[in-house]
């Protein structure tokens, strides 16, 4: 149900605000950053999640996501894995 809700939200943004930048991040015992879905995901786990300096460094290296007009299909693929 959550996957379908995210997919519907992407479709809505695609129709109403196609230049909006969207990034996908999932959380459980680790954090996976899919970004706009056009690049390889990055996973953070264990000590990486509690080291503020490491998190700031990693966050600064992540590319700015493309707009939903360009990334919707890639994000849909990531959502429905």
Across the chain, what does the average pLDDT equal?
A: 92
* List of residues 6+ apart from 22 with CB closer than 8 A: 10, 13, 36, 65, 67, 68, 71, 75
Name the domain count of the chain: 1
Is pLDDT above 90 for 62?
A: no
Once rounded to an integer, what is the mean pLDDT over residues 10-19? 95
Q: What is the pLDDT of residue 66?
A: 92
Domain membership of residue 14 as a residue range: 1-80
d(CA 45, CA 30): 5
Is pLDDT above 90 for 74?
A: yes
Q: What is the pLDDT of residue 59?
A: 85
């Amino acid at each position: 149900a959550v996957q379908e809700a995210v997919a519907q939200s992407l479709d809505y943004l695609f129709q109403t605000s196609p230049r909006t930048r969207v990034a996908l991040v999932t959380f459980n015992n680790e954090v996976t950053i899919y970004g706009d879905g056009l690049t390889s995901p990055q996973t953070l786990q264990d000590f990486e999640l509690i080291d503020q300096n490491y998190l700031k460094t990693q966050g600064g290296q992540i590319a700015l996501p493309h707009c939903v007009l360009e990334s919707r299909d890639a994000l849909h693929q990531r959502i429905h894995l």
